[in-house]
Amino acid sequence: MKMNRIVLITGATSGIGLACARKFAENGDKLILTGRNEHRLAEIKKELSAKGVEVLTLGFDVRDRDKAIKYLENLPAEWRNIDVLINNAGLALGLEPEYEGSYDDWETMIDTNIKGLLTMTRLVVPGMVERNSGHIINIGSVAGDAAYAGGNVYCATKAAVKALSDGLRIDVANTSIRVTNLKPGLVETNFSNTRFHGDTARASNVYKGIQPLTGDDIADVALYAANAPAHVQIAEVLILATHQASGSVIVRK
């Protein structure tokens, strides 16, 4: 189904965000891509533009509310009517017991996974309400359903994504806006490398003995939800690898 929507994706320089950018580009959508790495944004824009995709890049961290406001309130006129917002920017840091956790790690996760999502929602959704049209896709996690060992604060932030998604869906139920919460399980991206502060060897152990999901797998579901008929709202989807039963039950072979 070829579209010509304007799709804004946060955290679009890698992993699920980049996969979503490529999938929605293939679908004929125009893209607003945000991220902290402006060099990677430029590379991705070059890659997609070569395929005829219209791309606008915005280099900012969703934790920086002032920059987010500046960029979103000064979008060129032809980019202002955002049809799909994919709140993808997020991360996990550390795997220590809650009583030994890093204050800095806590703040980064809360500011990115919760406050960043809220900032983008606050900036984009009023326009959708005014136009009575739009779709918000929040990238949550299986971790938001139940805590796992060492997950504590990260799990809490993804539980917040579920609650915020549910709350927003209630808030816009009198409109034609749809809200989707995607909850991936084990996805092989740079997620674990980030969690372990660049310890690649430790990160690679996370995926040993199991075929994990890929960013493309999650992007496929995001695109399916976005392309569903207007009267169909894919409210929530839990996506797990075949040998993963929950956030904490993984069978390795």
Residues marked as catalytic: 154
Amino acid in the structure at residue 179:
V
Q: Which CA distances in Å does 186 have to 87, 112, 142, 211? A: 19, 20, 9, 9
Count Cβ neighbours within 10 Å for each residue of 121-130 and write b for 16 or more, e otherwise: bebbbebbee
Residue 186 burial (CB count, 10 A): 20
Q: Which H helix or E strand runs over 136?
A: strand 135-139
Q: At CA 139, angle to CA 67 and CA 89, rounded to 5?
A: 30
Per the CB < 8 A criterion, the answer to whether 38 and 47 are in contact is no
